[in-house]
């Protein structure tokens, strides 16, 4: 069974945030696991609590110490489950008269007597990488693409296998607008359903989900024709979705590692997806040549475009389906 978005776990985490900084031990005891392996890490170096008794005692004492003029603002909660285990990520902030302090929480949960209980909980305060490591590190997909285009990556080594693959990038159009319009719970459910659909359709065409990128995905196929068929089925499935998606496809040489695919082919496929409109599938000329003709798919006239981060111009085609 593939991981899926979990409204129940999201509810548990929101209840946890509701009692954040309080001494409500009764509620906390219903949220944390009763197993001795329970672990809670806080933001201070000395905050490392083990077992339910120690965790609840620490939260009770800290709750009394935190009483004051502040409130908590929740920015985002996302949660997933896979069988008897689940996990969640929370972005929130403590707001005081002095300002707004962002915080992040990750949690692992498991089913105990039919209820989701937190078995591992970790709070952290975002800190610039330069402050910790002395240098700025890559933190966004945009920066990653730029760094690969600017020069060779240390990950491009003989440890990875080389080969030709067809990569498919999907992206939800105006995802931020949609998420704000429906709220966190509905957004998490919609994204979870969408990812489940993509996993299923990718596997049905012999492909592999390399990664999900927030509101998008990166898929890999050995066959260009299979990649196009999968992209068409993904768009067909999206017709009845509350949002539209755009898709880009490119075929080329890649470096394959155990859990990722690297190389300029990755970046070009992502840029082609960015050039697509809502409900569209765009493919590179390389993919078009490998596909030839395909039943139920109409290949449009070549378009000459510029792709951000790439020199010269590139030829792409619009794929339409019945």
Domain-wise residue ranges, the chain: 4-124, 141-321
Q: In degrees, to the nearest 5, what angle opens at C-alpha 311 toward C-alphas 307 and 312? A: 85
In this structure, are strands 39-41 and 115-124 parallel, antiparallel, or unpaired?
Answer: parallel
4-124 adopts what CATH topology? Nuclear Transport Factor 2; Chain: A, (3.10.450)
String of DSSP letters for 24-70? -HHHHHHHB--STT-EEE-SSTT-EEESHHHHHHHHHHHHHHT-SS-
Lowest average pLDDT, out of 86-90, 258-262, 265-269, goes to 258-262
- Per-residue pLDDT tens over the stretch 216-260: 899 999 999 999 999 999 999 988 888 899 999 999 998 887 778
Which residue is it, tokens 């960015």?
Answer: 274
Q: Closest by alpha carbon to 69, among 37, 93, 98?
A: 98
141-321 adopts what CATH topology? Alpha-Beta Plaits (3.30.70)
Q: Same CATH fold, 141-321 and 4-124?
A: no
- In which band, very low, low, confident or very high, does the pLDDT at 154 lie, cut at 50, 70 and 90? very low
- In which band, very low, low, confident or very high, does the pLDDT at 152 lie, cut at 50, 70 and 90? very low
CB 285 within 8 A of CB 315: yes
DSSP 241: S
Instruction: Supply 272's token pair.
Output: 């082609």
Give yes or no for residue 203 having a pLDDT over 90.
yes
Q: Read off φ and ψ for residue 317, nearest 5 degrees.
A: -135, 150
Q: Please give the Cα distance from 250 to 252 (Å, whole number).
A: 7
Q: What is the pTM assigned to this prediction?
A: 0.52
pLDDT confidence of residue 106: 95
Mean pLDDT over all residues of the chain?
Answer: 85
Q: Closest by alpha carbon to 318, among 269, 283, 274?
A: 283
């Amino acid at each position: 069974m593939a991981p899926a978005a979990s409204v129940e776990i999201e509810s548990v985490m929101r209840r946890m945030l509701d009692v954040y900084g309080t001494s409500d031990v009764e509620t906390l005891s219903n949220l944390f696991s009763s197993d001795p392996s329970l672990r809670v890490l806080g933001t201070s170096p000395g905050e490392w609590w083990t077992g339910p008794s120690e965790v609840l005692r620490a939260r009770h004492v800290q709750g009394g110490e935190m009483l004051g003029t502040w409130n908590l603002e929740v920015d985002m909660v996302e949660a997933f489950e896979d069988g008897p285990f689940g996990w969640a990520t929370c972005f929130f902030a403590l707001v005081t008269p002095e300002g707004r302090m962002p915080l992040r929480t990750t949690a692992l949960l498991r089913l105990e007597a039919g209820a989701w209980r937190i078995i591992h909980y970790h709070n952290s305060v975002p800190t610039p990488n330069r402050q910790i490591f002395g240098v700025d590190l890559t933190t966004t997909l945009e920066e990653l693409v730029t760094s690969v285009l600017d020069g060779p990556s240390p990950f491009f080594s003989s440890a990875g296998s080389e080969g030709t693959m067809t990569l498919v990038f999907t992206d939800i159009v105006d995802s931020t607008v949609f998420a704000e319009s429906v709220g966190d719970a509905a957004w998490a459910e919609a994204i979870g359903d969408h990812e489940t659909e993509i996993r299923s359709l990718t596997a049905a065409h012999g492909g592999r989900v390399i990664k999900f990128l927030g509101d998008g995905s990166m898929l890999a196929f050995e066959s260009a024709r299979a990649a196009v068929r999968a992209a068409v089925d993904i768009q067909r499935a999206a017709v009845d979705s509350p949002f539209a998606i755009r898709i880009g496809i490119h075929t080329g040489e890649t470096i394959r590692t155990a859990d990722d695919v690297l190389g300029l082919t990755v970046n070009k496929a992502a840029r082609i997806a960015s050039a697509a409109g809502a409900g569209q599938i765009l493919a590179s000329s390389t993919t078009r040549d490998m596909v030839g003709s395909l039943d139920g798919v109409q290949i449009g006239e070549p378009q000459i475009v510029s792709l951000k981060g790439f020199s010269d111009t590139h030829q792409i085609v619009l794929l339409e389906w019945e």
